[in-house]
Amino acid sequence: MSIVVIAIAVVAALIGFTKVAPAVATRLGLALERRRLGLAVKVGQVPGFAIPYLEGGNGEVLVLIHGFGGDKDNFARVAGHLTARFRVILPDLSGFGDTTRDPVARYRIADQVERLHALLQSLGVTRLRLGGNSMGGFIATQYAATYPDAVIGLWLIDPAGTAAAYDTDMMRHTVDTGDSPLLLRTVADGDALIHATMSRPPYLPGFVRTTLALRGVADYALHTRIMAELRTHSPLLETQFTTLATPALIIWGTEDKVLNPSASVAMQRLLPNSRAIMMPGLGHVPMLEDPAWCARDYLAYVDAARSDGGVLP
């Protein structure tokens, strides 16, 4: 059977699945996308949790961590631009994506750091580059502070973790009411989430939006508890550390409505060996809105650091 015939058959199957089984269509679509990007799904085990992750490429290890409500595929398209240079690992955080759900477990930043460390130890990863978006940026920074000898450098994308980052109307509303666009009560809330987090949302078929929204709705109670736990039991970075020596690239979408872009200054104070890049026109998840741009900036940063003997401007 020719490749063209196979492609037509796949498309026809997808169209049929979208009407009767959007979750099946989404899984098939993700599988095709991951294969196109050279990423394979694997599963690690840490105490109490099965942790699926995507992996591809060769070279230095680069681990990228999604934010609240996200999953391993948030960084998949960025990874497609990086696997020629790095062994890229994209884990689901416990309580998100396809990991185990445990309603009585703790999900503080420190807990996520230790589970990530356990996963990487199980994979034999002792030295790595580490990046994260939003909550994932908080976790990455905390990880570097906890295991400084393990982390070669940080890549922080609209990171949480400082008081300045939470100085937005959205976060104040969440503190006052407990409500957030990141918490989905209904499938219709999925579109509000996209509007709140992205300035240039990529095209997502309706069946994918529906499937992701249904997962968010199913996780509403757990994620509400996790969000409250993060606010009350995860100390801000500046209350824990004066400065951290880890080299870092900080990028921030100027249209971020979730976390304040001006917090890049606070992150640079915490990480004096860092560089900040503002990304005009992008929102809270630049790696989803323009993955090629994000990857180019990161590769340029790594190359500049290497040319300077590892010392960043």
User: Does 197 lie in the same domain as 286?
Assistant: yes
Question: Of the listed 66, 81, 223, 284, which one is catalytic?
Answer: 66
pLDDT value at position 17?
46
Would you call 275 helix, strand, or coil by DSSP?
strand
Q: Which residue range forms the structural domain that includes residue 218?
A: 38-307
Q: Which two tokens stand for residue 294?
A: 């994000």
Q: Which two tokens stand for residue 139?
A: 């976790």
Q: How does residue 309 score in pLDDT terms, banded at 50, 70 and 90?
A: low
Asked whether the beta carbons of 140 and 154 are under 8 A apart, the reply is yes
Q: How far apart are CA 90 and CA 155, in angstroms?
A: 14
Answer yes or no: 66 catalytic. Answer: yes
312 in any annotated domain: no
- Would the pLDDT of 306 be above 90? no
Question: Of the listed 81, 94, 134, 284, which one is catalytic?
Answer: 134
Least confident span in 26-30, 80-84, 271-275, 290-294:
26-30
Counting Cα atoms < 13 Å in the Cβ hemisphere of 64 gives 31
Total-model pTM: 0.92
User: Does 113 lie in the same domain as 31?
Assistant: no
Answer yes or no: 122 catalytic. Answer: no
224 in any annotated domain: yes
Least confident span in 4-8, 11-15, 17-21, 171-175:
4-8
313 in any annotated domain: no
User: Does 270 lie in the same domain as 158?
Assistant: yes
Encode pLDDT of 151-195 as tens digits: 999 999 999 999 999 999 999 999 999 999 999 999 999 999 999
Q: Say what percent of the chain tops pLDDT 70.
A: 92
Q: How far apart are CA 27 and CA 33, in angstroms?
A: 10
Task: Let me know if 307 is exposed, middle or buried by CB neighbors in 10 A (0-12, 13-18, 19+).
Answer: exposed
Domain at 100, CATH number: 3.40.50.1820
